[in-house]
Structure 1
Amino acid sequence: MTVTRLVGALLLAVALSGCGSKFKTYNGPEVTQVLVLKEERKMFLLHGRKALKEYDIKLGFTPEGHKAQQGDGRTPEGLYFIDRRNPESKFHLSIGINYPNNRDIEVARAAGINPGGDIFIHGGPQKGSKVNGSDDWTWGCIAVEDHEIEDIYAMVKDGTPILIQP
């Protein structure tokens, strides 16, 4: 093999090694807010008032109403913040929402219930997983397609506000 061919083969191998990675980069306008419209099953990544991206979403298996307690299948409503990311999520990738916030904890404590937690925006179910047969299948999270969470994971930074509306 000639040196030129060897160098070409190595460059091709390096270029292809990045293909298929779930970790993308983003160099566009900053996402200043995430807006979720539960009834419309839509999520928008916003820069100011301009929508940078729009996604169809799936919600908790009991989507109406604000999440009140662990296991209720509801997706929270209100203003929250992206507070963590999980590159090893069993749902491809995920970014965390700071539910329950102090108000959620106070309300749950007064009612004598556990508010639950671990609310994320994440990819789809694992291959071969059974979901409940409904369009809304999570335990209270917001689900998108795997290729979409890859973009969201790259675009949305920790500390970004997320407004979840009924």
Structure 2
Amino acid sequence: MTILRVLLALVLAFGITACGQKGKFRSYDGPSVTSIQVHKAARKMYLLHNSEVLEEYDVALGFTPVGHKQFEGDGKTPEGTYFINRHNPNSRYHLSLGISYPNREDKAFAEAQGKSPGGDIMIHGRSDYKGRNKGDWTAGCIAVTDKEMEVVYSMVRRRTPVYILP
């Protein structure tokens, strides 16, 4: 009987703890995000519904932020029109949304130079990165805080256009 009480107490404690925790997955039922704009020079990202700004974020970019990403390892964030091509709930950086870089033109340019264009460009959180979110530290991705990424992740759907501007 004592073992049963201990087990019941443990199950109850774990159940209460689980109910009290807020996970990283949020729900969103507002206006759809019809596009994302990233303004590299201003270090800003906007989630838009048509022309209405739904959310605005400060972002960190690639550690070499000026110019368009051309090759793997150049530390640049791409510029141009892309789209969200995947959601990654198991990201190394909390949560992430895949950006469709490299596109056909990016691949052709890099190939003509005998190099790889790179890839795996994401909008992601920070997780274990301990620096300020201002300042550029990614390998070419667009980073926001983990809490902000939870909101972005819940709002943005696959195929959403991403306009990355200089």
TM-score, normalisation: structure 1:
0.86
In the aligned structure 2, how far is the partner of 1:150 from the partner of 1:122?
9
Instruction: Indicate the residue corresponding to 1:4 in structure 2.
Output: none
In the aligned structure 1, how far is the partner of 2:130 from the partner of 2:49?
36
Instruction: Indicate the residue corresponding to 1:101 in structure 2.
Output: 103
In the aligned structure 2, how far is the partner of 1:63 from the partner of 1:92?
22
Q: Secondary structure at the match of 2:62?
A: coil
Please, which runs of 5 or more residues in structure 1 have no aligned partner?
A: 1-9
Instruction: Indicate the residue corresponding to 1:158 in structure 2.
Output: 158
In the aligned structure 2, how far is the partner of 1:15 from the partner of 1:52?
33
Q: 2:85 aligns with which of 79, 83, 95?
A: 83
Q: Over aligned residues, Cα RMSD in angstroms? A: 2.1
Please, which runs of 5 or more residues in structure 2 have no aligned partner?
A: 1-11
Amino acid at match of 2:151: D
- The offset of 1:16, in angstroms, is 6.0
Q: Percent identity?
A: 54
Instruction: Indicate the residue corresponding to 1:143 in structure 2.
Output: 143
In the aligned structure 2, how far is the partner of 1:55 from the partner of 1:135?
14
- The offset of 1:111, in angstroms, is 1.1
Task: Spell out the pairing of 1:19-98 with structure 2 (5 A cutoff).
Answer: 19-98=21-100
Counterparts in 2 of 1:38 and 1:29: CA distance versus 1, 3 Å? same
In the aligned structure 1, how far is the partner of 2:159 from the partner of 2:37?
14
Q: Secondary structure at the match of 2:69?
A: coil
In the aligned structure 2, how far is the partner of 1:165 from the partner of 1:90?
26
Q: Secondary structure at the match of 1:54?
A: strand
Amino acid at match of 1:74: K
TM-score, normalisation: structure 2:
0.86
- The offset of 1:125, in angstroms, is 3.9
Task: Spell out the pairing of 1:106-125 with structure 2 (5 A cutoff).
Answer: 106-125=108-127
- The offset of 1:85, in angstroms, is 1.1
